[in-house]
Amino acid sequence: MLKHHMARLCNTANALGMSISQSDVTELVKHLKANIIDSATDQVVKLLVTREAGGRGYRPLPTADTEVYIQAFEYSSVVSDSILEQGVVLRVCDIKLANQPALAGLKHLNRLENVLARNEWHDDAFYEGLLLDQTGLIIEATQSNVFFKIGQRWLTPELNRCGVAGVMRAWLLAHEPELQTEFHITTLSLDDLSKATSCFICNSVQGIVPVQSIQLKESRVAFDVKESLLLLKQVGSVLG
**What is the domain extent for residue 103?**
81-239
Question: What local confidence, expressed as pLDDT, does residue 108 receive?
Answer: 93
- Crossing angle for the helix pair 167-174 and 2-15, nearest 10 degrees? 120
Per DSSP, the three-state class of 211 is strand
Q: Based on the domain organization, do 159 and 182 belong to the same domain?
A: yes
State percent of the chain over pLDDT 70.
Answer: 98
Is residue 23 domain-shared with residue 104, that is, in the same domain?
no
153 and 214 part of one domain: yes
* Mean pLDDT over each residue of the chain, to the nearest integer: 90
Query: In this structure, are strands 183-186 and 128-133 parallel, antiparallel, or unpaired?
Result: unpaired
- Identify the residue with better confidence: 10 or 156: 156
